[in-house]
Amino acid sequence: MNASQHNSTGPLLRCRGVSVDYVTSSGNARACNRITLDIHPGETVGLAGESGCGKSTLAFAITRMHNPPALISEGEILFEDRDILKMNDRELRDFRWKETSMVFQSAMNALNPVITIGEQLTDVIMAHRDVSPDEAIARGEELLETVGISKTRMTSYPHQLSGGMRQRVVIAIALVLQPKLIVMDEPTTALDVVVEREIMDELFDLKKKFGFAILFISHDLGLMGEICDRIGIMYAGNLVELGDADQVLENPQHPYTAGLVSSFPTIHGPKERLYGIPGNPVNLLNLPQGCYFQERCAKCFAPCKTETPGLEQVGDNPPHFAACHLNRMREESAA
């Protein structure tokens, strides 16, 4: 979508081998395992996977918002070459919202129910910018109008708004300081499909206007295929596939991605029985030796049980990566 912007400067955000552990009494659960991911300015990157695969944990790590028992045990997260993990409190306070903002999963509950929309909007402005209350209110009103809500709603409380409007307010708050990156953790999951469509359309108008990058976390591959430039697929804390959105969805190189893609009945395609992915997600406290997906994989063979596959390049134009022994085997048989 914004291919021209990608290479002009370096990546906006670079995750280098980021691991996040949840420390529990029965051992450490590794929710993110050595994730390496770049996000370029103006790019939309999607992260998909089932619950518990670590996609939200990674989002929290990027804004350093995780609390114990979550612990970033290794790796670095560079935002424009500054390491977020080494920032002190003041730098962090400056970085959050001004550079990266976040839209949470249940955005409908992310608003404080006892203060007005206007106060919540101006609060962010006043905290980060040196402006008078009147200026803050004017800016807040302007933002509400940008996301399609009348400015008379500044004095409304969250319960007086519908779910879709609340979601828009949350997006408006995320846009207040014009950050370069917005992390969106399942922003439309709780909404009806028609409202979801309206909000996604508006979001893309805003993106065009302000040019921010989006890290979009969701389990809805259909929606991702529509809006994302690149898609990463996570399973049990590992990034198992990463590549151009159309390629990942149309030509998946990891059996998990293929299973996930075929878990969604389509509205127009042929009507045939789909099988999805058998079995249940793996327990992070009791991981098997070898590939974590082996138990549910129909194509599992000997090396899968002994050796954990790493993320390897399987295509180069545009770059496409997958972590599966099958790809190496295919390469060897080709050579």
Query: Residue numbers of the site for other proteins (CB under 8 A)?
Result: 50-51, 148, 162-163, 192-198, 201, 219-226, 245-246, 249-250, 259-261, 263-268, 271, 273-278, 280-281
Of 72 and 227, the one with the shorter C-beta distance to other proteins is 227
Query: How would you class 86 by CB atoms within 10 Å of its CB: exposed for 0-12, middle for 13-18, buried for 19 or more?
Result: exposed
Of 99 and 229, the one with the shorter C-beta distance to other proteins is 229
Q: How far is the CB of 280 from other proteins (least distance, A)?
A: 5
Neighbours of 49 (CB within 10 A): 25
Of 100 and 167, the one with the shorter C-beta distance to other proteins is 167
Of 74 and 205, the one with the shorter C-beta distance to other proteins is 205
| DSSP letter, residue 133 | H
Neighbours of 247 (CB within 10 A): 19
Q: How far is the CB of 148 from other proteins (least distance, A)?
A: 8
Q: How far is the CB of 49 from other proteins (least distance, A)?
A: 9
Of 68 and 269, the one with the shorter C-beta distance to other proteins is 269
Q: How far is the CB of 98 from other proteins (least distance, A)?
A: 30
Residue by residue, DSSP assigns 92-127 as: HHHHHHHTEEEE-TTGGGSS-TTS-HHHHHHHHHHH
Q: How far is the CB of 177 from other proteins (least distance, A)?
A: 27
- Strand order from edge to edge, sheet including 70-79: 27-39, 13-24, 70-79, 82-83
Q: How far is the CB of 221 from other proteins (least distance, A)?
A: 6
Query: How would you class 300 by CB atoms within 10 Å of its CB: exposed for 0-12, middle for 13-18, buried for 19 or more?
Result: middle
Neighbours of 5 (CB within 10 A): 14
Of 310 and 318, the one with the shorter C-beta distance to other proteins is 318
Residue type, 316: D
Residue type, 292: Y
